[in-house]
Amino acid sequence: MTLTPVAEIRDPVHGYVKITEAERDVIDTPFMQRLRRIHQLAGAYLVYPGAVHTRFDHVTGAMHVAGQIADALSLWVDLAPDQIQEIRLAALLHDVGHGPFSHTFEEVLADKSTVTHEDISQRIITETSISDVLSRHGFSPKKMSDFAVGKQPAKPEFMNEIIAGGLSADIMDYLLRDSYFTGVEYGKVDAQRVIDSLRVADKRLALDNAGLYAFEALLLARYEMFKAVYFHRTVRAAELMLVNAMKLAEEALHLTDLSDINDYLEMTDERILHDLVSLDAAGPELKEAKKLATDFRDRRLVKCVFEQLVQRKDRVVEQLFERSRMREQVVLDIAEKAKVDRMHIYLDVPTTPSVPYTSAREAPTSIKVVYGEGKRLRHKNVPLSELPLVGSIAGFMDILRIYTRAENRAAVEKATAHLFSDGGYMTKISV
């Protein structure tokens, strides 16, 4: 097959994104069009008004970047046109299963089930009209469903790594795109330099030694974007309100009932926000869910009363981040001390690594670096700890925050300060 463009999309980040017939037909399916109604950054637009871009914008951009990566790698390894098309389609489909408010909905899924948005993506690819489109163009829906989440066993591993991992098309697009729409400068990385430096060694994605500084800059940009945008205290306030509203209303709205995947078409930001605001507040939980959603809509956000950078090496802190039961006990203790309903206290402990996961969903510890040229070409795994700047941020964004309603601010702030004082709660809590 040949990759002949049949149309193009004018993208504010990448310029003209050219699409093939297969890509156009996938894009025209209802589930792909649904992504136009899912914000890329959930509630971040309440802090950064320009952040109204969507998952649709991102996946078409990721497809474009994946194509650039494939073209660059084809100078070093044999990549047939149909393989390049598969890579582009996988990038296009990689987020098709995102729920309302993007990653925010994943926090609801994690609380109520073991399903992830990648699992939902695979179902959508194999159980909806996308499957018919892929089959019509000669692609296996099952194989593409695996490839779209970076788990295609029949491919060389570097192809999976183009879709998911620290050098993926995903990260190169979302950093540039999120930076552009929020107006934050940190994400403006030299993605093209990274792409041009990509190589393949032992069937894995590798980086030419000369491009190592660009890779460092990319990971540092991601770290800074997490601090400035993704984990911004007010952005997280908005997202916590959405998460808790959806959790409280889950049984009434059947948000995690995915028995019929076609019902997922209606799971969009505006639809779910409307349903939450329109709840029949028949009990305290639904009443609270309705208020949280209404306050989110009207930008009456909960307030942060406590924030602390913590060290994961502390055993108590480690368990606080990993055990939901322990987090619940923290909330109950603060509520009792402050004499405030526990539903009005929100504990936030983000658990996203500052350096992206590999395609196998493992926290990376090294990067494969290529040295030399021609017959003198050699490569080795370079530990991230040997990259001074990246080594210093490798691990997790360990920030602990407590939020509450504005009217409870003084009481909760006082209770939290007492419980988290030196020699207090963090050292005495039962584990």
**Chain segment 58-77, per-residue pLDDT in tens:** 999 999 999 999 999 999 99
Are 189 and 131 within one domain? yes
pTM over 0.85: yes
C-alpha 266/C-alpha 182 separation (Å) is 27
CB 158 within 8 A of CB 73: yes
Band of pLDDT at residue 220, cut at 50, 70 and 90: confident
Residue 317: the pLDDT is: 53
Are 341 and 369 within one domain? no
Report if residue 16 sits inside a domain. yes
Are 54 and 196 within one domain? yes
C-alpha 176/C-alpha 406 separation (Å) is 35
Owning domain of residue 372: 5-233+365-393
Band of pLDDT at residue 186, cut at 50, 70 and 90: confident
Report if residue 46 sits inside a domain. yes
Band of pLDDT at residue 255, cut at 50, 70 and 90: very high
Are 226 and 332 within one domain? no
Report if residue 317 sits inside a domain. yes
Are 344 and 221 within one domain? no
Are 32 and 181 within one domain? yes
Output the six-digit token pair for 246.
């959806």
Are 202 and 322 within one domain? no
Express each pLDDT in 323-382 by its tens digit. 667 788 889 999 999 999 999 999 998 665 554 444 444 556 678 888 877 656 788 887
The CATH number of the domain holding residue 19 is: 1.10.3210.10
Residue 428: the pLDDT is: 46
Are 228 and 320 within one domain? no
**Average pLDDT score, the chain:** 88
Report if residue 300 sits inside a domain. no
Q: Alpha helices, DSSP H only, in 186-256?
A: 191-196, 212-225, 233-253
Report if residue 294 sits inside a domain. no
Output the six-digit token pair for 35.
């992504």
Structural domain count, the chain: 2
For range 192-210, the mean pLDDT? 92
Are 58 and 151 within one domain? yes
Express each pLDDT in 287-338 by its tens digit. 999 999 999 999 999 999 999 876 554 445 555 556 667 788 889 999 999 9
Are 312 and 388 within one domain? no
Report if residue 157 sits inside a domain. yes
